[in-house]
Amino acid sequence: MKKKINFICLLIGFVYSPIFGQTTIPELITDRPDVTESAVTVPTGSFQVETGFSFQQQKYTEFGESIENRSVSLFSTLFRYGVFENLEFRFGGEYFSNKSYINQISYSVHGANDLMIGSKFVVRKDEKLLTNFALMFETTLPFGAEELKPQKFEPKFMILAEQELTEISSLSGNLGIEYASDQDNYLVDYSLSLGLDVAERIGVFAEIFGQTRNALIPENFFDCGITYLQTNNLQVDFSIGTTLLKSKTEWFAGVGISIRFMK
C-alpha cells in the first residue's frame, strides 16, 4: 500500500510541480485542439503527451449515390520529445472506427490509423516581427489496419509561423505539401488560426483550414474551441467545426487532454 501511495505522489509531482531545480516554468504550448501546428518545440528533455477523442459525421451525394459516414477517433495521440532547444521528435497515431451508409447499405472499418513519425525544428523564435517560425517533417507509416493503412510511406513537409498581435492574441498559420499514396498525388495543406487568451488559464481560437490538389476545388473547413490550463503542465480542450462546402453536410467535435513531463 505504501508503494502505491509513493507512486501516486510521484505522478502528482510530475504533473503539478515537475520542474526540479528551476525557478521558471515554460509555457505549455500544444499542437491541439486546432489543426494548425504551433511554431514552437517542447522544452529540451521534456516529454509531452497530447491525446483526445473526436466524432465526425458526413452526408453528401456522389455519382448519384447517397453517402453518410459516421466516424470516431479514439486515443488520437501525439507524443513530443524535446531533443535539443529548437528540435523535437514526434510520433503518434489513433484508433479509428467508421461506419458508412451507401444507399442505406452499411459498411464498417476500424483499426489503427495515421501512424506517423517526424520532427519539428524552430528557425526563429520570440521576435517582434514573425514571432516564431519553424519547419516540420513527418511521414505516415504503411502500418496499421489493412483497410486504413497507406500503400507507401507518405511524407509531409510543413512551414509553421506565428505572429503575436497583442499580449493576449496571436495569429498562426501553416502551409505544406504531403503525398497521398492512394491517389499517387501531392496535396497542399493550409490553415490559419486566431488565438485569444480570455482569462489567465482560458484560451479560445477560431480557425480556417483546408486541403487541395491540382485544379480541384479546395475543401475548406471552419472550427473553433476552448482550452483550460488546469496546471502549468496539464491542459484540457474542446473543439467543434464544420465544412464550408455547400454540397456536403459535415460536422465534427472533439475533447482532449495534454500532459507535459519535464526533465
pLDDT for residue 56 is more than 90: yes
Which of 116-120, 124-128, 178-182, 210-214 has the least mean pLDDT?
210-214
| pLDDT tier at 23, thresholds 50, 70, 90 | low
Classify residue 172: in a domain, yes or no. yes
pLDDT at 247 over 90: no
Whether 45 is in a domain gets the answer yes
181 burial level (CB within 10 Å; 0-12, 13-18, 19+): middle
* pTM, 2 dp: 0.87
Domain count, the chain: 1
Q: Is residue 6 one of the residues assigned to a domain?
A: no
Does residue 4 sit within a domain? no
Q: pLDDT at residue 4 above 50?
A: no
CATH number, residue 69: 2.40.128.130
Rounded Cα distance between 183 and 143, Å, is 18
* The one-letter amino acid at 262: M
In tens, the pLDDT along 219-243 reads 899 999 999 999 999 999 999 999 9
Residue 107 lies in a domain: yes
Asked if residue 93 is part of any domain, the answer here is: yes
Scanning the structure block, which residue is given the C-alpha cell 489567465? 200
**Alpha carbon distance 73, 55 (integer Å):** 7
Write the pLDDT tens digit of every residue in 92-137. 999 999 999 888 788 899 999 999 999 999 999 999 999 999 999 9
Cell of 257: 487532454
- Work out the pLDDT band at 8, boundaries 50, 70, 90: very low
The residue among 209, 260, 254, 259 whose CA lies nearest residue 52 is 254
Q: Per the domain annotation, does 1 fall within a domain? A: no
Taking the C-alpha atoms of residue 145 and residue 184, their distance in angstroms, rounded to an integer, is 20
With respect to residue 176, please indicate whether it lies within any of the assigned structural domains.
Answer: yes
The residue segments making up the domain with residue 58 are 28-261
What's the mean pLDDT when you consider all of the chain? Answer: 90
